[in-house]
């Protein structure tokens, strides 16, 4: 069974810093990988989706990379802002609509 | 993108009662997914609901406890039956949009007392 791990569980950085969130998965036969943001008491907002054939995706200050062979993905956030404070989750998808979510990294950006 | 509305957003329920959560999507979708997120944990898929067929439940979830309806391509309901405090969770509905992106509703936060 696929296991998705996110490290660190929590991260606190001063405003303006660049940061990297990590996601690892045990089964590399994935269909795609997505990064989500979750604000307290809210649903999830999709940030980036990387298909299994892709190596990275970028959206604004966010860049996500995927290394299937090593079972790793990173989410890079440039020039962090207090509004980036949230929990970030990664999820891998296998064929047949099987999704596996990580437990998330809780990010706090200090003004 | 897809816009998903869930009702209720929050509720406090008495032990032993049942509650139905509604999920409305602004476009027609084939599959709708129901997730549970227990406090401090990640998401767990409860079931996949296709219009016109029985929902497919994941291991550990049964239809008697979590009956699902999918009457059309834009709407689904999840009922949490005979609730206990262990059912206190956020329940989330999601759909697949264009390009395989997954969209989520705002969630329904249930507290069972």
Rounded Cα distance between A105 and A11, Å, is 7
Query: Can you read off the two tokens belonging to residue B113?
Result: 């007392």
Backbone phi and psi for residue A83, each to the nearest 5 degrees, phi listed first: -70, -10
Length of chain A in residues, anyone? Answer: 111
Q: Which of A34, A41, A102 sits opposite B102 (nearest CB)?
A: A34
Mean of pLDDT values over A57-63: 97
Q: Which of B42, B48, B99 sits opposite A101 (nearest CB)?
A: B42
Does A49 contact B107 at a Cβ distance shorter than 8 Å? no
Does A43 contact B31 at a Cβ distance shorter than 8 Å? no
Instruction: State pLDDT tens for residues B32-58.
Output: 999 999 988 889 999 999 888 889 999
What is the pLDDT at residue B60?
A: 93
Query: Can you read off the two tokens belonging to residue B77?
Result: 């309901």
Mean of pLDDT values over A87-111: 91
How far are the Cα atoms of A110, B43, B63, B101 from residue A34, in angstroms, in the given order? 26, 14, 29, 8
What is the pLDDT at residue A98?
A: 82
% of chain B residues with pLDDT over 70: 100
What is the pLDDT at residue A37?
A: 96
């Amino acid at each position: 069974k696929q296991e998705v791990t996110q490290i660190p569980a929590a991260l606190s950085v001063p405003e303006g810093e660049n940061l990297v969130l990590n996601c690892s998965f045990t089964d590399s036969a994935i269909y795609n990988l997505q990064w989500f943001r979750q604000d307290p008491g809210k649903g999830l907002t999709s940030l980036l989706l990387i298909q299994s054939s892709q190596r990275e995706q970028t959206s604004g200050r966010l860049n996500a990379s995927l290394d299937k062979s090593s079972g790793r993905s990173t989410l890079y956030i440039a020039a962090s802002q207090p509004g980036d404070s949230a929990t970030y989750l990664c999820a891998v998808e296998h064929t047949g609509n099987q999704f596996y979510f990580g437990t998330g990294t809780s990010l706090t950006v200090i003004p | 993108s897809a816009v998903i509305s869930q009702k209720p957003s929050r509720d406090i329920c008495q032990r032993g009662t049942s509650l139905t959560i509604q999920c409305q999507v602004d476009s027609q979708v084939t599959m709708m997914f129901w997730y549970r997120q227990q406090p401090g944990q990640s998401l767990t898929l409860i079931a996949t609901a296709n219009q016109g067929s029985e929902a497919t439940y994941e291991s550990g979830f049964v239809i008697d406890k979590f009956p699902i309806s999918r009457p059309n391509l834009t709407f689904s309901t999840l009922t949490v039956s005979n609730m206990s405090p262990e059912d206190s969770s956020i329940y989330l509905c999601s759909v697949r949009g264009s390009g395989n992106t997954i969209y989520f509703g705002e969630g329904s936060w249930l507290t069972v007392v």
